[in-house]
């Protein structure tokens, strides 16, 4: 338990440095997770101690195969391999975002180096090296015994060194080190996935901002046409100067909002360029977001997806392990299995409180996770019906515009009225595009929750 906690604390420290700025991808060079060790009980000193240590180390079967990684999967799912088509310079598509972040994001690359360190450990060789160290220390202690140096400070230091190496040796032999490192790898991969998800969220947000920019530019053009008409009516004396000034003030506010939006687009595009490791210009061109097919929507099954999400969630796995550790500690001090209740045992009562705290935290984590996935599921369904309604409204505006074109060709409708009908049609198209983006965003978030156990 102590060794697993130490390893996970190292990964947690890395998490704090990586996720403090979410999609901003702040620069950093986290240290590689170290193989944790725990000091064992002090070995007995004296002739018998040295001889026993030497005999134990020499008789240990160094050829014993170390346990394989016992940690659960990283939550990654098998996906069909698609042909990779590189993006043109200065542009990016959503389909290539994941790959480009894995290849160019400095945080993702840094985490991968730490993962490789742990995954490349040869536990068989490491165990053999530790066995040799144990033998060497035991031999040196035996020499010290023969020289009458038993009980000296040097002998005690040698004894402590033996215990430390022995602790690591036993951890490999029992599979504890492999399990701890597998848990650390899983958490590091979870951090990678969160950074990738932050990149996708930034991309989707930029797509929405670009759509908003198109809408503001359309409104600005319509307002310019209105101002021309108002100026003419003012010259004819049909309206007051105040009406014209109010319209001009509205245009100034709209133009200011458009400028601010342009600045935000430049800022967030720079962040996206940082996330993929590209030159930061703030001018990267985005491809259209993918669509969500009816097949994708039909494949959603809340109950089955919930089971998959539970298996892939690092948060649930961590809460489960904490709960198991607290239960084990609690049982060691009495527990609920018919052993004597130690009302006056402080360590028991602390273990009891720790156990129930972990249990409540575990139950709360499960409930929040299930509720979160359910809400994501409902969000997708809601976005689906909004898109359907938007498409219906678009069909109506297309008919209205066709009628306006016919009337204008017959001379019964002015050019301005035709342009107004065209604006309404464009607005309806923008709403459909926005609804499509919202549906993809909701569906993509749902897939992250199911496939990787990440809610946000």
Cβ atoms of residues 140 and 91 within 8 Å: no
- Residue 14 CA to residue 28 CA, distance in Å, equals 10
The mean pLDDT of 359-369, rounded to a whole number, is 93
pLDDT of residue 332: 77
Cβ atoms of residues 184 and 118 within 8 Å: yes
pLDDT of residue 343: 58
List C-alpha distances in Å: 55 to 48, 58, 135, 157, 428: 10, 5, 8, 20, 84
The dihedral of CA 189, 191, 195, 200: what is its sign?
Answer: positive
Report percent pLDDT > 90 for the chain: 66
Report percent pLDDT > 70 for the chain: 79
CB atoms within 10 A of CB 148: 8
49-71 pLDDT per residue, tens: 444 454 444 444 433 333 334 43
Cβ atoms of residues 143 and 16 within 8 Å: no
E-strand stretches of 146-289: 285-286
169-220 pLDDT per residue, tens: 999 999 999 999 999 999 999 999 999 999 999 999 999 999 999 999 999 9
pLDDT of residue 344: 63
Asked if residue 116 is part of any domain, the answer here is: no
Cβ burial of 220 (10 Å; 0-12, 13-18, 19+) is middle
Which of these ranges, 124-128, 341-345, 404-408, has the smallest mean pLDDT?
341-345
Q: What is the tally of structural domains in the chain?
A: 1
CB atoms within 10 A of CB 297: 13
∠ Cα 327 329 331 (to 5°)? 65
Average pLDDT, the chain: 83
Asked if residue 447 is part of any domain, the answer here is: yes
Cβ atoms of residues 33 and 10 within 8 Å: yes
Asked if residue 394 is part of any domain, the answer here is: yes
Choose between 43 and 394: higher pLDDT: 394
Nearest to 109 by CA among 196, 35, 237, 12: 196
- Residue 125 CA to residue 45 CA, distance in Å, equals 29
- Residue 444 CA to residue 292 CA, distance in Å, equals 9
Residue 49 tokens, joined: 């101690």
- Residue 70 CA to residue 229 CA, distance in Å, equals 75
pLDDT of residue 349: 80
- Residues of 398-425 as b/e, b for ≥16 C-beta within 10 angstroms? eeebeebeeebeeeebeeeebebbbbbb
List C-alpha distances in Å: 223 to 229, 231, 397, 420: 10, 12, 20, 11
The yes-or-no verdict on residue 442 having pLDDT over 60 is yes
Asked if residue 389 is part of any domain, the answer here is: yes
- Residue 288 CA to residue 97 CA, distance in Å, equals 12
Nearest to 285 by CA among 89, 101, 84, 104: 89
Bridge partners (DSSP) of residue 285 are 91
pLDDT of residue 17: 43
Asked if residue 409 is part of any domain, the answer here is: yes
The yes-or-no verdict on residue 350 having pLDDT over 90 is no
The yes-or-no verdict on residue 11 having pLDDT over 50 is no
Predicted TM-score of the model (pTM): 0.77
Which residue is listed with tokens 């951090």? 191
Domain holding 447, by residue range, is 292-456
Nearest to 108 by CA among 183, 194, 204, 9: 194
The yes-or-no verdict on residue 246 having pLDDT over 60 is yes
Which residues are CB-contacts of 61 (< 8 A; sequence separation ≥ 6)?
none
The mean pLDDT of 230-234, rounded to a whole number, is 92
Asked if residue 370 is part of any domain, the answer here is: yes
Which of these ranges, 79-83, 102-106, 321-325, has the smallest mean pLDDT?
79-83
Nearest to 420 by CA among 432, 433, 408, 430: 408
pLDDT of residue 381: 97
List C-alpha distances in Å: 368 to 181, 305, 365, 399: 28, 15, 5, 47
CB atoms within 10 A of CB 180: 25
Choose between 331 and 158: higher pLDDT: 158
CATH of the domain at 303: 1.20.1600.10
Which of these ranges, 53-62, 81-90, 155-164, has the smallest mean pLDDT?
53-62
Which residues are CB-contacts of 181 (< 8 A; sequence separation ≥ 6)?
7, 33, 35, 69, 71, 118, 121
pLDDT of residue 47: 44
Cβ atoms of residues 277 and 104 within 8 Å: yes
Asked if residue 250 is part of any domain, the answer here is: no
Distance, CA of 163 to chain centre? 39
The yes-or-no verdict on residue 335 having pLDDT over 70 is no
The mean pLDDT of 149-169, rounded to a whole number, is 89
The yes-or-no verdict on residue 88 having pLDDT over 50 is yes
pLDDT of residue 39: 35
Asked if residue 18 is part of any domain, the answer here is: no
How does DSSP classify residue 369? Answer: H
């Amino acid at each position: 338990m102590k060794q697993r906690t130490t390893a996970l604390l190292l990964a947690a420290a890395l998490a704090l440095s990586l996720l403090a700025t979410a999609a901003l991808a702040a620069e950093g060079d986290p240290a590689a997770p170290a193989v944790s060790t725990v000091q064992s009980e002090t070995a007995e000193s004296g002739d018998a101690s040295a001889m026993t240590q030497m005999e134990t180390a020499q008789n240990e079967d160094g050829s014993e195969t170390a346990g394989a990684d016992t940690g659960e999967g990283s939550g990654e799912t098998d996906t069909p391999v698609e042909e990779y088509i590189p993006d043109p310079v200065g542009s990016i598509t959503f389909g290539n975002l994941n790959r480009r972040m894995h290849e160019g994001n400095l945080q993702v690359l840094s985490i991968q180096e730490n993962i490789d360190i742990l995954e490349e450990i040869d536990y068989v060789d490491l165990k053999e090296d530790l066995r040799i160290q144990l033998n060497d220390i035991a031999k040196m202690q035996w020499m010290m015994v023969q020289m009458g140096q038993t009980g000296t400070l040097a002998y005690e230091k040698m004894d402590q060194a033996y215990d430390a190496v022995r602790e690591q040796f036993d951890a490999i032999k029992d599979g504890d080190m492999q399990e701890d490192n597998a848990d650390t790898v899983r958490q590091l991969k979870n951090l990678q996935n969160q950074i990738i998800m932050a990149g996708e969220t930034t991309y989707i947000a930029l797509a929405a901002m670009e759509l908003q920019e198109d809408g503001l530019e359309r409104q600005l053009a319509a307002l310019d046409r209105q101002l021309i008409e108002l100026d003419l009516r003012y010259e004819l004396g049909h309206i007051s100067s105040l009406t014209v000034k109010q319209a001009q003030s509205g245009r100034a506010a709209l133009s200011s909002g458009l400028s601010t939006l342009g600045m935000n687009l430049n800022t967030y595009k720079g962040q996206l360029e940082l996330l993929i490791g590209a030159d930061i210009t703030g001018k990267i061109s985005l491809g259209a977001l993918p669509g969500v097919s009816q097949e994708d929507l039909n494949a959603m099954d809340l109950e089955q997806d919930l089971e998959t999400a539970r298996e892939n969630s690092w948060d649930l796995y961590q809460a489960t392990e904490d709960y198991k550790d607290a239960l084990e500690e609690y049982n060691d001090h009495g527990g609920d299995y018919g052993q004597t209740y130690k009302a006056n045992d402080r360590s028991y009562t602390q273990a009891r409180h720790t156990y129930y705290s972990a249990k409540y935290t575990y139950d709360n984590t499960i409930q929040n996770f299930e509720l979160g996935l359910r809400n994501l599921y409902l969000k997708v369904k809601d976005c689906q019906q909004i898109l359907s309604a938007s498409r219906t409204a678009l069909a109506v505006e297309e008919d209205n515009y066709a009628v306006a074109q016919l009337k204008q060709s017959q001379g019964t409708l002015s050019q301005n009225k035709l342009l107004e009908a065209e604006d309404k049609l464009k607005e309806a198209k923008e709403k459909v595009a926005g609804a499509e983006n919202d549906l993809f965003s909701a569906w993509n978030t749902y897939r992250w929750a199911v496939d990787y156990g990440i809610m946000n």
